[in-house]
Amino acid sequence: MITPPFLQPDDMVGIIAPAYKIEPRQWEPVISILQTWGLQIELGSSLHLQDHVFAGNDAERLDDLVTMMCNPQIKAILCARGGYGCIRLLPDIERYMHSFDPKWLIGYSDITALHAFCSKKLHWKSIHGPMPIDCQELSKKNISSWKYLHELLFGNIPTYTIPPHHLNRCGQSIAPLVGGNLSVLYSLNATPYQWHMDDCILFIEEVNEPLYHLDRMMANLHIGGQLKNLKGLIVGSMQNMKDSD
């Protein structure tokens, strides 16, 4: 796997919206954070576009992403928010990938589809990390996420101490870390972007899903053999899970 160059002060980072639309008030607070890191900022055109629920139509969002990926001056790309839409771009991104310059791609939720593309097609490492939309209401947890991101981007690999859960299966393992949003992982099955999870540590996160959806997706991974040869499984906080009526 290719490790993109770590950042230096005065480097440039881009901000784009490859999925759902976003209002300026939702991403503007991140500007001051990045400036305190000594970084320059390039704003993508998709931040100001709208096509129904998307930040511009597929072609517009694709053009913004490709422009950032091809620009050697851009050292990292922050995706402003998730939602839905990245998977619609995947087949067309491949036409341009020979011109891409290695850099960090950052985001979670629907951005998992772009992480899969980086891993499967570009063989780049990428970062499942905070997004500008999270800066609207900075809680203690959000602030720590941005501190971790800052350390990682500048080459100081952070360590994590997580409180144990009584259902944990304890052990030791060193392996590649793959994963992200469970619904997106599920939707990538049987596509060219499906992760092969053998001998990997898989992490999953999800929000606002009925419990039977969660069970269906995990059953799919299990029956498909994707969980059989894992080195480890990390389960994030499944937020706002709900039972059906």
DSSP for 114-152 reads HHHHIIIII-B--EE---GGGGGS--HHHHHHHHHHHHH
Per-residue confidence (pLDDT) for residue 84, from 0 to 100: 96
Give residue 140's pLDDT: 63
What H or E segment, with its residue span, contains residue 24? helix 24-27
Q: What's the pLDDT score for residue 163?
A: 86
Per-residue pLDDT, 141: 65
Q: What is the pLDDT of residue 183?
A: 96
pLDDT for 143 equals: 84
Tell me what pLDDT residue 128 has: 96
Q: Hey, how many other C-beta atoms are within 10 angstroms of the C-beta on 11?
A: 19
> What's residue 139's pLDDT?
64
CA 80, 82, 88, 90 torsion: positive or negative? positive
Other residues' Cβ atoms within 10 Å of the Cβ of residue 164 = 7
Q: In what order do the strands lie in the sheet with 74-79?
A: 40-43, 12-16, 74-79, 104-107, 127-128
Q: Which regions of the chain are under pLDDT 50? A: none
C-alpha distance from residue 112 to each of 12, 104, 138, 185, 203 (Å): 23, 14, 23, 7, 11
Give the whole-angstrom CA distance, residue 100 versus residue 85.
21
pLDDT digits (tens, 9 = 90+) for 137-177: 776 667 889 999 999 999 999 888 888 889 999 889 999 99
